[in-house]
Amino acid sequence: MNFPNTLSLIRILLAPVFLYLFLSDSTGLVAASFVVYTVAALTDWYDGWYARRYGFKTRWGQFIDPLADKILTSAAFIGFYLMKQQNPVFLGPSEPVPLEILIAVIIFRDIVLTIARSVQELRGREFRTSMISKTKTFIQMSFIFLIIGLISISALASGSGISVSINNYLQSQINYYILLLITVLTAASGVAYIFESGENIEKQTYN
């Protein structure tokens, strides 16, 4: 296994470590979860750069790299769901659509379509990432880092005015609607992928 693929495997292994730390009762471990998540996310950037720089593009890498990304982000959303069970006002007190449904849609789409797309690319079919998918990924990652970062700061500053202000924000309804937007974009990008996949297969059939 080459170096970039090893980093992808490490990213997968760090996902449950992050989740354990994130849900811990220890403020130090909760803060450490942000460090673990950041390190894991940085391996995604670095293994991609390393693979392109030194020509380590492999079939296995095409499969495991995007899958590792989705497992990591899924771990974060699962953490948000479990935290919501402990604190009903976390990410907003009102849920027009239950939070578990939103998160289930995001995780299901991300992992299933990532696997499907990776398999297609292994068969030699190239797919361009759509703008809606790029937008979804940017908002999704920004949201995850914001929430985890604020929770970590709040844990370290427990009992202070900073912690109170952060907790007030984490309990505001805007977070729910950001997650709802992410869910809509995720579903839309999934539909776009299905059409894109059909068009690519049709083109390759006629060529």
What is the pLDDT at residue 79? 97
| CA 169 to chain CA mean position, Å | 21
With 80 as the cut, is the pLDDT of residue 96 above it?
A: yes
Share of the chain above pLDDT 90, in %: 57
pTM over 0.85: yes
Q: Where on the phi/psi map is residue 97: left (φ > 0), alpha (ψ -120 to 50), or beta?
A: beta
Query: Residue holding tokens 């940085």?
Result: 42
Crossing angle of the two packed helices 3-22 and 27-54, in degrees rounded to 10: 160
Dihedral sign (CA 87, 15, 36, 137): negative
Q: Helix count (H) and strand count (E) of the chain?
A: 7, 0
Tens digit of pLDDT for each residue in 43-78? 888 777 777 777 667 777 777 888 888 999 999 999
What is the enclosing helix (H) or strand (E) of 75? helix 59-86
Tens digit of pLDDT for each residue in 12-46? 999 999 999 999 999 999 999 999 999 998 988 87
Quick one: DSSP state of residue 91?
T
**Buried b / exposed e along 46-65 (16+ C-beta atoms within 10 A):** ebbebbeeeeeeeeebbbbb
